[in-house]
A and B are shown apart, each in its own frame.
Chain A
Amino acid sequence: MSQAYTPGLTITPFAVLRKTRKLPLKGEVLVEVGQIVEPQTLVARAYLPGIVHIVKAGEILGVAGEDLEKHILKREGEKVEKDEVIATATSFFGLSKRTVRSPIRGTIESISPITGNISIREEPKPIYISAYIKGKVVEILPAEGVVVEARGAFLQGIFGVGGERWGHLKVVVDSPEEPIKDINGDMKDCIIVGGSIDGENLRKAIDIGVKGVVVGGIYDEVLRDFLGYDIGVAITGQEDIPLTLIIMEGFGTLPLARRTFELLRRFNGFFASINGATQIRAGVIRPEIIIPHNEPIQVQSESFTNQLVVGAKVRVIREPYFGRLGEVLSLPPEPQILETGAKVRVAEVRLEEGVKVVIPRANLEIIID
């Protein structure tokens, strides 16, 4: 295939972003087209059918399924309260009485003459979805949700954990490689940005109520300690954790890319929405930072190409030059042999410090400025 490289992740000061906010099942939309919404604005609601509890009534009463009918006090479709008696049976000439109580408040869904089980469904639960980003409702998806549009900066990370959160952006370091430390009360409810973070500072961030942490690199052990377990498959976003963590570059000692750092610093103090949800499979999802703003930004016409060409700015995304930036000097058409012995297509790259190296094309990420 001709495109044997990883296309870079989007890092842009300005983009028009549309977020589809959809209910998991049909419901009702609570906002109108043109309405300005905040991240926490509830835009749609649905009722999730309650969970069914199966009560082994026949077994409890000591009667066969086909005889259960005679002992039932409530019929299919009737409502029941928690602990309400729904079936009774007497034995030993009325000396012993057994009862079946409903374990929940709900509705009798079915009574089985075969198994002797009674199914009781819990009351439906309302579920809401919020706007997630500050913006304008531009489309209603009848009974399903809305599309919210925002204008602002958009940055994709490489990996994240934790779901949608929002807060003021606070760059708490002076350079892209500086680790986050000295966590303090001013950071409460904020999304803090730094080169890296260790376990101790991550714990402090949780303690004071930081909403999100954005870093260049992190050690996998820190992530494991934070989550309390090792992530196996890279599908995240549903973790029950007190803050959202977004990793922009990778695992290990990796500073934030300079332009990422500069962009975040430029919007320091702005209100941002973040989502750590990551899915690294077909239909890839990367974590994101959305910073709505009305700053006048000259956006260059999009003349860039996703093709790897001579002169392209690239970043190496694998050892032995992991994280280094450079420029493509040549793209030899013939595959070349690597140290491993593999014969692959490569690029000759001049790293920022001037050294010329040969890198497999698959290990380069194009940087679009």
Chain B
Amino acid sequence: MAEAILAVDCGSTTTKAILFNKNGGWHLVARGEAPTTVEAPFDNVMIGLFNAVRELEELTGRGILEGERFIIPSLNGKGVDLFLATSSAGGGLQMLVMGVVKTMTAESAQRAALGAGAIVVDCIALDDGREDFQRIQRIRDIRPDIILLAGGTDGGTITHVVQLAEILSAAEPRARLGNLPIPVIYAGNKDAREEVKRILGEKFSVIITENIRPRLEVENLGPAREAIHELFLQHVMRQAPGYNLLMEATTHPIMSTPNAVGEMVQLLGREINGNVLAVDIGGATTDVFSVFSGIYNRTVSANLGMSYSICNVMVEATIPNIQRWIPFDVSPEEIRNSLRNKMIRPTTIPQTLRDLYIEQAVAREALRLALEHHKSLARSLVGVQRERTVGDLFSQTTGGETIINMNKVEMIIGSGGVLSHAPHRAQAALMMMDAFQAGGITFLAVDSIFMMPHLGVLSSVMPEAAEEIFWRDCVVPLGSLVAPIGAIREGEPAIHLKSRNYDLEINFGEVRILPLPDEEEFSLKPAKGLDLGEGKGKEVVRRLKGGLLGIIVDCRGRPLQIPQQDDKRREWLRATYKALSLPLPGEER
């Protein structure tokens, strides 16, 4: 019976080691961290890992290492019973995906790769608008860890998928790590397997799995995802410096970090039996995970982030869209130079409120764009009839529309520095409210120390322990967001809330916080033109969970009714900040 568990996440910049133990129930003991050491001059992930574990030993007084050996199992208060690890170091798992039709097999291949925790460096399809020589050049330029080749339904024509194999063969890309042939997972028309092996067999290491689209109306991602996971361990991890030692040291297989987070999000979706959205906004990338109607999706927006990629957010979002979230007058020039300076010195932190709010404005846009990206990929199969199955079998109604409905999301969990370390928790809530614009009733939380990867890998071994720690130590509850959908005239009564402790009316355009540390039953009656999920003007009676903030009532409309005029918009923003007791530059509390 496990008493103590060590879980480590080897991130691209930091290695985070966490100790859990069983003392009455499972809980977090402490967390140690150290810079990741997969690059020169160290070239060995274990150095950073030992440093992080030693910090953990110092913090807890518990011996975990004996020299460079992990003490497993625990004995007399020393060592651990399980040693688990996740990794995204060295650029994570980089994949090239290929499919015949962009919105069909190529999209399925992309979902399979993303769901397995990969970064998709490009998606090649025969209808992607490129000429063959351009595709070949592109494949040559990128150096993927794994290639996923899909295309065609079983029994259909093999011509197109063979054409893709020919393009791949002509390009002959080189692996990013090591000199071994690149693994190609073939998950297309089963009738083309022999031909694909013939074309690619000499240049690549070809792995055959079940077709990800055996029929047009069926998406079967599981086998391809398993193959990716297996190759990640056997091929990619073994090439990364020091990982052979790490693989020997852990008691269970290493997981890619996003894959582990995905496991945890899926566990949550099952537990609350509702729709969950989780987002991790980092320095370089933003990952979005969702479970909607039991269907899991993950996307990674590779160049939306708050430090290295901050200027890419500026380019994609445009300055006026960033400016619209800043509650004071600031010139486009100042925003530009300020973000550029953050980009070139990514480890700096805002010292002034002015600087902080510019960054938080960018964060809203990064989150908004990442959600847009997620919506575009988390969608039903194009042009087919409904056929629902379980797990990864993923089929939908008429097709093509996103399955992400922000008016039907039960829980949003935010993580990543800008959300987890926002000086005021209300700022984290407001960033998520503005960026995602969830309507109806949604519970908001932040992952305080980005423990989701550790809990994700733990959930693959001990799901109950992972769940227990998640609620006890991982998640910081901000509170329930009540946001009526629709718009009415500003200043008119928008909602009437009644509970044991509250009985009040809030006008359209206002935001209000109702402190509530635990939970309480509310009757919520929206105005005629507004909807809380049950229909316009329909009363909703629900037990609402509070949190650090309480109940957040956002009557600014869904979609948000942002004033167009600059001074009016700033006034509107300032009113919201004040309602959330947030300081404003020049008016610090």
Give me the interface of A with B, judged by CB distance under 8 Å. Answer: 1, 4-6, 25, 49, 51-54, 65, 109-110, 112, 114-115, 117, 119, 121, 158-159, 219-221, 230-234, 247, 250-252, 278, 280-283, 317-320, 322, 338-344, 359-360, 362-363, 365
Contacts and interface: CB of A to CB of B under 8 A. Distances in A.
A251 B172 contact: no
B169 to A, nearest CB: 7
A291 B101 CA distance: 54
Nearest to A338: B351
B309 A233 contact: yes
Interface in B352-369: 352-356
A319 B355 contact: yes
B540 interface: no
30 contacts: A1-B33, A25-B174, A51-B137, A52-B136, A54-B133, A54-B136, A54-B166, A110-B170, A114-B162, A117-B166, A219-B336, A231-B311, A231-B315, A232-B311, A232-B312, A233-B311, A233-B312, A247-B344, A278-B344, A280-B343, A281-B284, A282-B12, A318-B355, A322-B341, A339-B588, A340-B351, A340-B353, A359-B351, A360-B348, A362-B349
A115 B348 contact: no
Contacts of B355: 318-320, 340
A220 B170 contact: no
Given A65-B159, A233-B303, A282 B345 contact: no
Q: Which of A109, A233, A252, A340 has the most CB of B within 10 A?
A: A340
Given A51-B133, A230-B315, A234-B311, A112 B166 contact: yes
B421 interface: yes
A339 B588 CA distance: 8
A-B CB proximity, top 9 nearest: A341-B423, A232-B312, A52-B170, A251-B340, A220-B336, A252-B337, A54-B132, A251-B337, A342-B423
A114 B198 CA distance: 12
Interface of B: 12-14, 33-36, 39-40, 91, 132-133, 136-137, 158-160, 162-163, 166-167, 169-172, 174, 195, 284, 303, 308-309, 311-312, 314-316, 333, 336-338, 340-341, 343-356, 421, 423-424, 583, 588
Contacts of A117: 163, 166
Contact of B353 (A109, A283, A339): A339
B35 A1 contact: yes
B281 to A, nearest CB: 16
A365 to B, nearest CB: 8
Given A51-B133, A221-B333, A340 B308 contact: no
Given A52-B171, A230-B311, A232-B315, A362 B344 contact: no
Contacts of B136: 51-52, 54
Contact of B356 (A230, A282, A340, A359): A340
Contact of A234 (B170, B308, B337): B308
Nearest to A24: B174
B352 A283 contact: no
A172 B40 CA distance: 38
Contact of B351 (A51, A251, A360): A360
A121 B345 CA distance: 45
Contact of A342 (B303, B336, B421): B421
A280 B303 contact: no
Given A6-B347, A250-B341, A282-B39, A115 B159 contact: yes
B352 A49 contact: no
Contacts of B354: 319
Contacts of B423: 338, 340-343
A359 B198 CA distance: 64
B49 to A, nearest CB: 14
B195 A252 contact: no
B171 A319 contact: no
A232 B304 CA distance: 10
Contacts of B421: 342
Contact of B172 (A49, A230, A318): A49
A6 B345 contact: yes
Nearest to A317: B345
Given A115-B163, A339-B588, A158 B345 contact: yes
B312 A344 contact: no
A324 to B, nearest CB: 13
Contacts of B308: 233-234, 280-281
B344 to A, nearest CB: 5
Contacts of B132: 52-54
Given A52-B133, A233-B303, A342 B162 contact: no
Nearest to A224: B336
B348 A317 contact: yes
Contacts of A320: 351-352, 355
B343 A234 contact: yes
Contacts of A53: 132-133
Given A114-B163, A340-B356, 7 more contacts: A25-B174, A115-B160, A219-B336, A219-B337, A282-B12, A282-B13, A320-B351
Contacts of B133: 51-54
Contacts of A338: 351, 423
A320 B195 CA distance: 64
Given A54-B166, A110-B169, A340-B356, A221 B336 contact: yes
Contacts of A49: 172
B70 to A, nearest CB: 22
A112 B352 contact: no
A339 B349 CA distance: 12
B516 to A, nearest CB: 23
Contacts of A114: 158-159, 162-163, 195
A365 B347 CA distance: 11
Contacts of A112: 162-163, 166
A252 B334 CA distance: 8
A122 to B, nearest CB: 9
A54 B311 contact: no
A339 B35 contact: no
A119 B170 CA distance: 8
Contacts of B39: 282-283
Contacts of A359: 351
Nearest to B39: A283
Given A114-B159, A232-B303, A251 B336 contact: yes
A252 B312 contact: no
A318 B342 CA distance: 8
Contacts of B12: 281-282
Contacts of A339: 351-353, 588
Contacts of A344: 349
B426 to A, nearest CB: 10
A54 B353 contact: no
B340 A250 contact: yes
B347 A362 contact: yes
Given A219-B333, A281-B308, A322-B341, A341 B424 contact: yes
A159 to B, nearest CB: 5
A251 B345 contact: no
Contact of A360 (B163, B309, B316, B349): B349
B345 A318 contact: yes
